Each structure stands twice: as C-alpha cells, then as structure tokens.
Structure 1
Amino acid sequence: MGGFGPLETAGPVLVWTVVLTFVFLECALIIGLFLPGDSMLITAGVVLASQVSGEVHVWALSVGTMIAAIAGNQVGYVIGQRTGHHLVARKNGKYINTRNLTRVAELLHRHGFMAVLVARWIPWVRTLCPAVAGAAGMDHRKYTIASSIGAIIWAPVLLLIGYYAGSFLENVSWLMPAVIGTLIVGLVLGTIVGVRQYRAEMARPAEDFDLDEAEQEPVADSPWRRA
C-alpha cells in the first residue's frame, strides 16, 4: 500500500496516540463533548489503510480503543459519583446546561441499561452519561456491563468502517491522498473549534444541577439504588 507523506514517516504511533487520547477524553471528561470523536475514529481507520502494516494495527487499535473507552467511562462515573446528586451546569451553555443534564438523567432513569448502550452513539450524551450515572447512583455493575458492551461495539466498528473504506480507496491512487488530506484537515479544524467552544462554555457562569429534582417517579426494574 502507498504512503501519505508525513503520516508514512510518523507511522501508526501518531495515530495510536491521537485515537487513544481522544477516545479516553470523550468518555471521561467534559472536554470530550467538544472533540470530534466519531469522525476521528473513521479518519484513523482510513489513515491506517494507507500503511503497510495497517491491518495489524487497525485490529490492535480496535482493542486499544475498547480499553480506552471502558477506562474513560469508569473515570467519568467516579467523577460523577464523588459529586453526589449535584452536578455543575453552565447558564446558557450549549451542552452543559440543565436541560441536557435533565434529559440524560431521565433517559438513564427510565431505560437504565439500554440507555447506556444507546448513549454510546449520541456524542454529547456519550460524554455526559458516565458523570450523570455516577452522580445519580446507578448500580455500578450494571453500568459497567452496559458501558463496556457499548465500547466494544462503538469504537472498533467506526475504525473498521474507515479502514475498509480506505482499503477500497487504495485502488484509486490519486484519490487516497486527497481523501486523507481532507479528513485530517477537517479533524484538526474540528479540534481547534471544539477547544475554543469548550473554553467559551466553561467561561459561562456555573449553576447547580440537582438530580433529585430532575428524576421522575421510579419505574419497574429501576437501575437506581439509593444510599
């Protein structure tokens, strides 16, 4: 397979570093709300398709992303758990506002296990879900099983979609560099814009969000436990 300039020289190490860092942050910390996680995984898959040992790396990286996502989910859960039933929202925030936190809390309260699985495919919910689950006291074992299953499905699927799409593009010699270049430029710009949006969001005044007020009446087979 052909290379792509600096990417060929840097090798898969750069891809590994970026992917694992982004996946962990998106699953663990609020800044992950503003990072292009899904597009990053697809881009990484396409880039690995241009590498000589790309197939080995994409399957190994799939395992690595699963571990990073699972670890990130656990960190996010613990952070939420330590806040108690009170989370910090941002007044007039785009994402970290009381409306979105309420929506995630209600989703988890009503659907529990399945909500954690579905959250994996909704970027802003994916990041808020661990903290809200921890703060609200969702059963840790159920949360861990659901979030781990979601991680196993989410990251490898997007990586492999990018990889096999890239393998197809390799048959068109002039197209592969153009696609990779476009994807990387989009990823870099998306990250820059995301970091600026994160800084603007965090600069907004903080307000308390009380999960006790957001939760609805318990439903059958509720995943919540009370201290």
Structure 2
Amino acid sequence: MHTVNLLIRLVEHHQILVYAIIFLGLIFEGELIVISVGILAHLGALNLYLVSFFILLGAVSKTFLGYALGEFLYKKFNHHRFFRYIQKRVYNTLPRFKDKPFWSIFVSKFIMGINYLVIIFCGYEKIDYKKFLKAEISSTVIWAPILLSLGYFFGYTAFSISREIWKFSMIIFVLFMLFIIFDKLIGWIYEIFEEFYDNVK
C-alpha cells in the first residue's frame, strides 16, 4: 500500500519540472494549480516561499501576456465572432464592466473561468493600462494567499483522514469538486446581484 510519501518523493525528485508546471499552469489556468501547490506545500514537498514566487511570477506573466494578446488580436482579427463570444461572457458576468472596469477586473480574479477572458478583453478594448495593472496585481496579492491557504486546508484535511495515496487523492478530488461548485455558485450570485443593481438604478 502506497502512502503520500510516494507523492512527496516524486515531487522532490522533479523539482525543476514541478516549478515549470506551476509557472505555466498559472498562465493557462490558475485556481486548481495554486490549490494543488498549497496541498504539496503542506505535505512538505515544496518550499512555500519559492512556490509563492513562482505563483506571483506566473500570475503577473499572465497579466502582461493576456493584455498584449488582446491588443494583437484586435489588430489582426477585429470583429471576429470569437470576440463576440468573449464580450458576451464578460458582460453577462460583469455587466458594469464599461462603467467600472477596475472593480470588474478585480472581481474577475475570484470567478473561475472568467479572469483570463477579462484580461484578453481588456487588451482588445484598450482599457487604461495603469488601471488594468493596478486591478490585476492588487487582486492577485489577495487571491494567491487565499487559494494557497485553501490548499493547505485541503492537504491537512485529507492527510488527517488517510495517508494512503488513493484515499488521499479521492478526498482531495471531492474537495476540489466542492470548491468548483462553490465558486460557480458565488459567480452566479454575483451575476444576480449585478442585474438587480442595474434594475434598481
């Protein structure tokens, strides 16, 4: 029967690859990567300070690259239906995006699946760069520690129940599913709040 020590040794023996995955994962995903890092840091497989650096590096890289990609796509593929899709997603979730771009960008960091679209859309719409960076960086400084702490909690909970790797993994999987459901629920509640606020106005 294998325990979580197998996972710890695997991560420890492939540190460079793991940190590369963390960096790239933050560019292309985000939430699940940071929570996973928190779990591994709790197990002692990763150095908390080093992973914090790579998380911030990846998140900031995503911010710059996403905005630049939005600008590039505006020049090359303006009026493409892909941007109508992005615009619809952004305005459905964040209907006050035009009126309050800073707040909308800030909030998008905490809604799974919308932030990367918002970043690209900001470049496409040429949102004020300083305002964009301020919103993205300030939200990241709050977002990253929260998800790292959540990962610590997931790791602690699963480890306290079982050290057998398959049971540990299943507990983590269930916790991930609960997190995704909760995040979607928060996003849905926020959409309703925005619609209600607009109707009241």
* TM-score where L is the length of structure 1: 0.61
Residue aligned with 2:80, SS: strand
The answer for the alignment partner of 1:111 in structure 2 is 100
Distance 2:94 2:173 in 1: 35
The structure 2 residue matched to 1:48, chosen from 37, 41, 58, is 41
Q: Which AA in structure 2 matches 1:42? A: I
The answer for the alignment partner of 2:20 in structure 1 is 17
Residue aligned with 1:122, SS: coil
Off by >3 Å, runs of 4+ in structure 1: 87-91, 101-107, 167-177, 180-187
How far is 1:173 from its partner?
4.7
Distance 2:25 2:86 in 1: 23
8 A contact 1:43–1:180 mirrored in 2: no
8 A contact 1:169–1:176 mirrored in 2: no
More strand by share: 1
More helix by share: 2
How far is 1:169 from its partner?
4.3
The answer for the alignment partner of 1:122 in structure 2 is 111
The superposition leaves residues 25-76 of structure 1 with CA deviations (integer Å, 9 ceiling, x where unpaired) of 23xxxxxxxxxx3233222211232226x4xx12331232122111111111
Distance 1:67 1:140 in 2: 19
The answer for the alignment partner of 2:6 in structure 1 is 5
Q: Taking every aligned residue pair, what percent have the same amino acid on both sides?
A: 18
Looking at both structures, which has the greater relative contact order when contacts are Cα pairs under 8 Å and sequence separation is at least 6? 1
The superposition leaves residues 154-189 of structure 1 with CA deviations (integer Å, 9 ceiling, x where unpaired) of 1232122212442354444536762335547998xx
Residue aligned with 1:46, SS: helix
Determine if the alignment matches structure 1 residue 140 to structure 2 residue 129.
Answer: yes
* TM-score where L is the length of structure 2: 0.68
8 A contact 2:162–2:168 mirrored in 1: no
How far is 1:123 from its partner?
2.1
User: Is there any run of 5+ residues in structure 2 with no aligned partner, and where?
Assistant: 177-201
- State the number of aligned residues: 170
- Describe how 1:195-214 pairs up with structure 2 within 5 A: none
8 A contact 2:4–2:168 mirrored in 1: no
How far is 1:103 from its partner?
3.6
Determine if the alignment matches structure 1 residue 72 to structure 2 residue 62.
Answer: yes
Query: How much is the aligned-residue C-alpha RMSD, in angstroms?
Result: 3.3
8 A contact 1:46–1:165 mirrored in 2: yes
Distance 1:156 1:130 in 2: 21
